[in-house]
Amino acid sequence: MSLFIIEGIDGSGKSTQIALLSERLQSEGFDVKTVKFPNYSDRSSEPVKMYLEGELGADPSAVNAYAVSAFYAVDRFISYKKLWEKEYASGKIILSDRYTMSNYVYQGSKLKPEDRKAYIEWLYDFEFGKMGIPQPDRTFYLDVPPDYSIRQVEKRYQGDESKKDIHEQNLDYLHRCYQAGQEVFSATGAVMIECVRNGKMLPPEAIHEMIYNHIKQVIDG
């Protein structure tokens, strides 16, 4: 049973790394299942979509962090029950594009710094304790400062602002999320993957090597 998570802000390269890892591990004969959050392909993500499309307000900071965290947690629980509980139990390697800590990055960042400790205790207890979804074996945090990740997001939308969700439209908020990510991942033992060196984004393959080597060590015990 193993569960590996790739975290990082929008456009940091999570999906790219999940694809590279999945291909590499499968080519070595491992049984791999990839999952992604939010799980837009299921109705379980409906409340998350309502939030991201601005139905609860256009400013993410004004929408209750605990309520929104519950939306994302429910989506994860349903995905677990429907898509990967059996695979996880049978020993497959589960690779997840975002997980519980994305709640901290995007929702915890809305809270005052002094309220964040209580929030994270609540979050861990809610998702891992009460709901009982599995705890990750390792979390990899793609450290890509917003000035770089924004360019990657722009590539996707090609100037069409209307397609962006309420997080992607808000640069101040993105910067606060990045800060929250830096703080929490280094404090919780995530593996920090430095993706920008000498002012340049490393190529996907170089980032992949760092993550892959670490995962191999965990798998080989």
Ligand X SMILES: Nc1ncnc2c1ncn2[C@@H]1O[C@H](COP(=O)(O)OP(=O)(O)OP(=O)(O)O)[C@@H](O)[C@H]1O
Residue 152: contacted member of Mg ion, ligand X, none (CB under 5 to 8 Å, by partner type)? ligand X
Output 14 or 116, the one with its CB closest to Mg ion. 14
Least distance in Å: CB of 156 to Mg ion? 9
138 by DSSP, 3-state: which?
Answer: strand
Output 19 or 74, the one with its CB closest to Mg ion. 19
DSSP state of 137: S
Answer whether 33's CB lies under 8 Å from 82's CB: no
Which residues, including other chains, have CB under 8 Å from residue 200's CB and lie 6 or more apart? Answer: none
What is the DSSP annotation of 2-55?
Answer: EEEEEE-STTSSHHHHHHHHHHHHHHTT--EEEEESS-TTSGGGHHHHHHHTTT
Least distance in Å: CB of 104 to ligand X? 16
Residue 201: contacted member of Mg ion, ligand X, none (CB under 5 to 8 Å, by partner type)? ligand X
Output 15 or 179, the one with its CB closest to Mg ion. 15
Least distance in Å: CB of 18 to Mg ion? 8
Least distance in Å: CB of 11 to ligand X? 5
Residue 150: contacted member of ligand X, Mg ion, none (CB under 5 to 8 Å, by partner type)? none
Interacting residues toward ligand X by CB under 6 A: 8, 10-16, 152-153, 155, 201-204, 207
| Residue with token string 């964040």 | 116
Output 131 or 192, the one with its CB closest to ligand X. 192
**Phi-psi sector, 190: left (phi>0), alpha (psi -120 to 50), beta:** beta
Question: Tokens for 177?
Answer: 């999320």
Output 40 or 121, the one with its CB closest to ligand X. 40
Output 90 or 198, the one with its CB closest to ligand X. 198
Q: Strand 191-194 and strand 2-7: pairing?
A: unpaired
Which residues, including other chains, have CB under 8 Å from residue 35's CB and lie 6 or more apart? Answer: 79, 83, 84, 94, 95, 96, 97
Least distance in Å: CB of 12 to ligand X? 4
Least distance in Å: CB of 14 to Mg ion? 5
| Residue with token string 């005052």 | 112
Residue 208: contacted member of ligand X, Mg ion, none (CB under 5 to 8 Å, by partner type)? none
